Amino acid sequence: MVKALKFGGTSMANAESIGKVRDIIVGDAEARYVVVSAPGKREPSDTKVTDMLISLYKENTVNGKKRIFDAIVKRFDDITAELGANVDLAADYAEIYEHSVGENASYDYIVSRGEYLSAKVLAALIGYEFVDAAEIVRFGADGRLDAELTRSLASDRLRVAYKAVVPGFYGTDAAGNIKAFSRGGSDISGAIVAEAVGARVYENWTDVDGFMVCDPRVVKNPKLIEMVTYRELRELAYMGASVLHPEAVFPVNKSGIPINIRNTFNPSAKGTMIVCYEDLENGKFTRENNVITGIAGKKDFVGIFIQKEMMNSEIGFVKTIMDILCENRLRLEHLPTGIDTVTLILDTAGVSDDVLENAVMQIRERCEPDTIEVHKGLSLIAVVGHGMSNTKGTASRVCGSLYKADVNIRMIDQGSSEMNIIIAVENEDYARSICALYSEFIG
């Protein structure tokens, strides 16, 4: 049996943490394919290597560029020296500097070199083959991952590499140029490798024990989620609860490969298993029959409450509103409706007040509502779990717990899958609401 393992930036931050990575890998005979991130922060005030590389690319002065470059070289030289890794990076350093100056400057190439060097160091340390992600990850002309070609290239290349370390975060475009994923993209690289080698499990090693039922910054020491389905994870991640890049689940979900979130600094912890719902249904995996799996939320939404008598008989009323939102590039989160009312919950991050005011004015002019009210400072909280679809009274418990906490619910919406209930509350009630919901359903 084969495992694919991905180690994040905190796991690769310094010689001590990489030593822990080495011990995890060599202690597991199934750990044959490893994907790594660039070194992260060694302590809170430190700078991630990827951020150092971005600064190297952006720096215009020769002295400034040399100072940043020397700091990057020292970071890796210190790691290799402390580990005693037999690897010569001199040629790689020279090439990186060359690609940071003049006409040779390439942003994607530069920002990807942290992963490249990390993988070279770890491969030398544990005696695995180094396989460049440029060989196996391919992007199309539209800049998006070519999943089919990548699957073929990765499968063919890794089939002849019995044990390999692969840098995460990048691949190449159709012209052979280095192309990077968005930040956090090493998670996707790990999933690509896991799918390509038909891994039994994709272990994603980070600096937390797994997913918690809710944000530990809000509820002290919340319970760990031992098992979550991909569907539940998507719902929770959308509301901000994530230790994974959101696109990382697709390659492995499609192949039915579970993801295990593990802690490099607490390897004895079992972590959180992320599995297909179908495998939970057919008994391949089992878990406690909890009503809910997790609670997540985000602040600073805007609610627009619209009322118009006989709105239900006016054809195209809601379509007109949707057209106005599209014209003003406003993102709709939820749209609960009544016979004469419609509520818009909008994510206005990065949107100016002028844009919002213009949209409201257009709704007044083109829809002629009887009343329209704009309410800023709303928080959305999602209560998520497959268990609620077969459990009576879940919505009642949600509302009752918030009533007892003296929280006014501004909006409530349940998805068609009956897997989540979304509520909107005032920003100032956000933490109190999550605490009340956690107490009600988890205790």
Read off the pLDDT of residues 427-441 as tens digits, 9 standing for 90 and up. Answer: 999 999 999 999 999
Give the residue-averaged pLDDT of 52-80.
Answer: 95
| DSSP character string of 185-236 | THHHHHHHHHHHTT-SEEEEEESSSS-BSS-TTTSSSPPB-SEEEHHHHHHH
Lowest-confidence pick of 209-218, 234-243, 401-410: 234-243
Q: For the segment 338-364, what is each residue's pLDDT rounded down to a tens digit?
A: 889 999 999 988 889 999 999 999 999
User: Is the same domain home to 252 and 298?
Assistant: no
CA 404 vs. chain centroid, Å, equals 34
User: Is the same domain home to 154 and 17?
Assistant: yes
Predicted pLDDT of residue 282: 86
Band of residue 171 on the pLDDT scale cut at 50, 70, 90: very high
User: Is the same domain home to 202 and 312?
Assistant: no
Lowest-confidence pick of 114-118, 241-245, 273-277, 363-367: 241-245
Give the residue-averaged pLDDT of 2-10.
Answer: 96
| Domain presence at residue 237 | no
Band of residue 250 on the pLDDT scale cut at 50, 70, 90: confident
Predicted pLDDT of residue 31: 97
- Residue 205, beta-bridge partner list: 7, 262
User: Is the same domain home to 24 and 162?
Assistant: yes
> 391-401 burial string, b = 16+ CB within 10 Å, else e?
eeebeebbeeb
Predicted pLDDT of residue 246: 66
User: Is the same domain home to 192 and 331?
Assistant: no
| Domain presence at residue 286 | no
User: Is the same domain home to 45 and 145?
Assistant: yes
Its pTM stands at: 0.87
Task: Give the CATH number of the domain where residue 132 resides.
Answer: 3.40.1160.10
| Domain presence at residue 221 | no
User: Is the same domain home to 200 and 347?
Assistant: no
User: Is the same domain home to 189 and 326?
Assistant: no
pLDDT for residue 150 is more than 90? yes
Nearest to 369 by CA among 345, 344, 346, 341: 341
| Domain presence at residue 224 | no
| Domain presence at residue 229 | no
DSSP 8-state symbol, 394: H
Residue 357: count of CB within 10 angstroms of its CB: 12
| Domain presence at residue 181 | yes
Predicted pLDDT of residue 388: 85
Q: For residue 357, what are the domain limits?
A: 294-441
User: Is the same domain home to 203 and 299?
Assistant: no
- Give the Cα separation of 231 and 408 in Å (integer): 29
Band of residue 377 on the pLDDT scale cut at 50, 70, 90: very high
Nearest to 343 by CA among 362, 371, 366, 381: 371
CA-based angle 66:72:74, to the nearest 5?
100
- Give the Cα separation of 248 and 269 in Å (integer): 22
- Give the Cα separation of 236 and 108 in Å (integer): 30
User: Is the same domain home to 194 and 332?
Assistant: no
Give the residue-averaged pLDDT of 148-170.
Answer: 96
User: Is the same domain home to 56 and 152?
Assistant: yes
Is 153:138 a contact under the CB 8 Å cutoff?
Answer: yes
pLDDT for residue 243 is more than 70? no
Predicted pLDDT of residue 260: 95
Task: Give the CATH number of the domain where residue 346 resides.
Answer: 3.30.2130.10
pLDDT for residue 95 is more than 70? yes
pLDDT for residue 373 is more than 80? yes
Give the residue-averaged pLDDT of 410-420.
Answer: 82
Band of residue 213 on the pLDDT scale cut at 50, 70, 90: very high
- Residue 125, beta-bridge partner list: none
pLDDT for residue 320 is more than 90? yes
Whole-Å CA distances, 100 to 38, 61, 114, 165, 170: 18, 12, 14, 25, 17
Task: For the chain, give the mean pLDDT.
Answer: 92
| Domain presence at residue 141 | yes
% of the chain residues with pLDDT over 90: 76
Predicted pLDDT of residue 160: 94
| Domain presence at residue 103 | yes
User: Is the same domain home to 39 and 143?
Assistant: yes
Tally of domains within the chain: 2
Predicted pLDDT of residue 26: 96
